[in-house]
Structure 1
Amino acid sequence: MKLKEHWAHNIQLSPFEVVMMLLSLISVIIILSMVLIPMDKETHKLLFFIDTGICCIFLGNFFIGLLRAPDKRLFLKEHWIDFVASIPAIEPLRFARLFQILRVVRLLRMSRSVLGVLLKQRRQTTMASLLLAIITIVAFSSVLVLLVENGEPGANITTAEDAIWWSLVTISTVGYGDFYPVSTVGHIIGGLVILCGVSFFGVISGYMASLFVAPDEQEHLEQQRQEFKHQLDDVLQRMEHNQQTMLQEISQLKQELQQQHKNR
């Protein structure tokens, strides 16, 4: 029981922890696909590029956590496996990410309400969700478009680099036109990626607007609190004044009654 409490105390559940777990799961699936599924050279290279990008995110998350940790020695003791599993280009070490998945799953089980935690940290949840969605869509769309377009007559997306560049350009809705799908399925994939990109930029625009609007709302709420506090103070002062007036009138009335009693 004490070990469980120590674990929960030292590792705080956050939206980015959940995203790291999901990215670890995606990375493990990618590694298993590269090892077990026969594929051409370009598809293998593309999966390697995607996994290396995920490794860079893991390393960034690790060093950010290390810099923020109050006890860096304890952080290294508990998270060293994350660093080992984030080293690119060494496939056997990447299976160590299973430990990261198990750790976060254990943390999720100990948390009473994951949804409550995510709702309390809405800004982190928004950013973490966007990060996960962008990585997932770029990864899957680049793999799918390469598999679909490779071998098609007149296809210009034939390498891993072309597929990643097309996916990034399409999701950002820039549309350079230097690489484009020529097959019907490729057009469908491109259309879905464009719709996702438009949605992402809408969410990001709303998020950025909230960053500027939020301080004004906080100031407005603070002003309302101050006004309510002043009104409450005025009411309390009036009540206190009325109470004192009533006590004085009661005391005066009591004296008059005593005086009348003496006169009798």
Structure 2
Amino acid sequence: MTQGFDCATPLNATLAAAFKAQGFDFVCRYLVPQGWKRLTREEAEAIGEAGLHIVSVYETTADRALGGREAGLRDGAAAVQTAKAVGQPEGSAIYFAVDFDATAAQMPTVIDYIRAAGETAPGYLTGVYGSCSVIEAVRDAGVCSRYWQTYAWSRGRKADGIHIYQYRNDIRANGIGIDLDESYGDEGWWSGVGYRLKAEDVNEIIERFLAHEFDKASDADKVRRNELANELRKASGQPLHYYEP
């Protein structure tokens, strides 16, 4: 489990370093085309240089998902364009927010929204942020692969198989308002540091020299192999992989 937070306030290098020093490993930031809360390439680089990973979330208005398929198509396309502009690598995740207490009657529209957003975001993993009921409905419909649940509107329930859990809202830290999150692996986060290695070169190195290195090794050696591979993935801006013996 790793600790993180989400916030609307853009982070500079000083803020990012302060949060890292306090034990945070990731920050969830808004991947939107415009507005004061949007993530920029410069901010992504500052966050990456501080050693924090980024979780991208697309949200313009809290109930945007009620726009259904048409809204999802537009938002997916906008999210991809923005992701490329800030340097987010393909293979990482974009979470689309359902930031309200969606009812059972509204779930088909929410599902249509998430499905459409994924259709127009090729190359990226599609995720959803929302209550336990939203997570369960979207997961059962099979329209995305990453799940970020908030405790809000969840009425004490926690869905199975989630990747991130938002467990406390509206606190102050380092002079800004944040919400607290924890993650459980395979979140689809990414890093904004400047990359020198090409992803295709890194993947060839992993396949040629690491993939079979410990085929008959102990679980500890397999964990170490994955750690080495992840260092290469980080250096090329790729999402990390997780191995549990």
Q: What TM-score do the two structures reach when normalised by structure 1? A: 0.27
Structure with greater proportional helix content: 1
Q: What TM-score do the two structures reach when normalised by structure 2? A: 0.28
Q: Which structure's relative contact order is higher, taking Cα pairs within 8 Å and 6+ residues apart?
A: 2
Larger radius of gyration: 1
